[in-house]
């Protein structure tokens, strides 16, 4: 007895493969476009009630750090360091989350690391 696949599965041969290849190429193009757009975006975060503001790019590069003069206390450099670190980390988290959400929406949640798409991220 011969096994049958459900309707819509198999039987497509080369046509199905070409369609999948086109879809994969379109997804790769969409991801490249999204990566470029994300790299050009900026993400800002603050700490200490807006005493420290940090802006990073989508490429995870710190673009600016703004510090309100009233939080600069030579006797408490550690507090200022903590505020800067908190703002930097939050801005980087925002950039990473936006990148992850965008790529997931394009890929439909597929793990594309195994497909050699890692160079896009």
In a domain, 21, yes or no: yes
Q: Residue 121 has what pLDDT?
A: 42
Other CB atoms within a 10 A radius of the CB of residue 92 amount to 17
Residue 117 is predicted with a pLDDT of 44
Q: Write the CATH number for 20.
A: 3.30.1310.10
- Is 44 in contact with 53 (CB distance < 8 Å)? yes
The predicted-structure confidence for 70-94, as pLDDT tens digits, reads as follows: 999 999 999 999 999 999 999 999 9
For residue 111, what are its two tokens?
A: 């793990």
**In-domain check, residue 18:** yes
Q: Which residue, among 48, 93, 86, has the nearest Cα to 69 in the 3D structure?
A: 48
Structural domain span for residue 61: 14-108
Q: Count CB-CB contacts under 10 A for residue 93.
A: 13
Is 101 among the domain residues?
A: yes
Residue 5 lies in a domain: no
pTM of the model: 0.70
Query: To which H or E segment does residue 80 belong?
Result: helix 77-107
Cβ atoms 34, 107 nearer than 8 A:
no
Structural domain total, the chain: 1
- Please report whether residue 116 resides in a domain: no
Q: Is residue 1 one of the residues assigned to a domain? A: no
Q: Is the residue at 115 inside a domain?
A: no
Residue 98 covered by a domain: yes
């Amino acid at each position: 007895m011969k096994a049958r696949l459900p309707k819509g599965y198999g039987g497509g041969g080369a046509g199905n493969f070409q369609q999948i290849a086109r879809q994969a190429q379109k997804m790769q193009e969409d991801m490249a476009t999204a990566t470029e757009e994300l790299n050009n975006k900026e993400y800002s975060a603050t700490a200490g009630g807006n005493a420290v503001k940090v802006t990073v790019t989508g490429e995870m590069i710190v673009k600016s750090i703004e510090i309100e003069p009233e939080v600069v206390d030579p006797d408490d450099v550690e507090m200022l360091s903590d505020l800067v670190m908190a703002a930097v980390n939050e801005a980087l988290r925002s950039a990473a989350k936006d990148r992850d959400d965008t790529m997931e929406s394009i890929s439909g949640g597929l793990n594309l690391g195994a497909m050699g798409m890692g160079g896009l991220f």
